[in-house]
Homo-oligomer: A and B are copies of this chain.
Amino acid sequence: SGVAMMKFKSPPVNSLSLEFLTEFSISLEKLENNRACRGVIITSAVPKIFSSGLDITEMCGKSMEHYTEFWRAVQEMWLRLYGSNMVTVAAVNGSSPAGGCLMALSCDYRIMAENPKFSIGLNEAQLGIVAPFWFKDTFVNVVGHRIAERSLQLGSLHPAPEAHKLGLVDELVPEEKLMEKAAAVMAQWLALPDHARQLTKTMMRKAVLDRLVAHREEDIKNFISFVSKESIQKSLRMYMEMLKKRK
């Protein structure tokens, strides 16, 4: 059918570890280079969670080299997904904070299970960290400046119905209909001739993609200098302890 499905399966919460990101980028590149593949649906194989976002263990007590490699992998994932020539549909079947939200935002279309217990958002500010400018640019392109400004400052996690109202996701469906709907949306997008659709997508996204490409090394330096701060390391360790106790 020309449509690939990528199911995130990295329990317990599909954290975006270096390994996960690397595998994701390689898989996406393979699909991109496969002329038979015209679209990809991303979803989760883990119940209740789409992706919990960047893996905090990759940012804690590691070397500069590791931080560099990790951040480059985060950038790479986004550059490939936001800039994909394929039609990309996110079937958001669980909560999707921070980096998980970014992955959904980077697709062409977002369908979310209508369960109000599932939430989505760029909640970095809640953890005392700042979403990078290209997370912000991607967000603004979807919801506009005002909603992004407020949501980013508050680090909001929006329950599915609110996310839909804000335009953060395009559609809500009952969870059991999610994959069926994703396939239907994909079919609608694939009805268009690829070439014109791809050039149109590039026209819409190029400015924001180019901005990271132009500032990639600077962005890595910013991340390292931020994550190396003792205050940040401390708050990340505390956050990890809290997560461990929860389990």
Contacts and interface: CB of A to CB of B under 8 A. Distances in A.
Contact of A188 (B143, B145, B154, B197): B154
A193 interface: yes
Given A146-B142, A200-B131, A108 B153 contact: yes
Interface stretch (A6-14, A48-56, A58-66, A120-128): A120-128
Interface residues of A, number: 41
Given A144-B144, A188-B154, A204 B149 contact: yes
B200 A152 contact: yes
Number of copies: 3
Interface string A133-149: 10010001111111011
Nearest to A132: B203
Interface of A: 108-109, 124-131, 133, 136, 140-146, 148-150, 152-155, 167, 170, 188-189, 192-193, 195-197, 199-201, 203-205
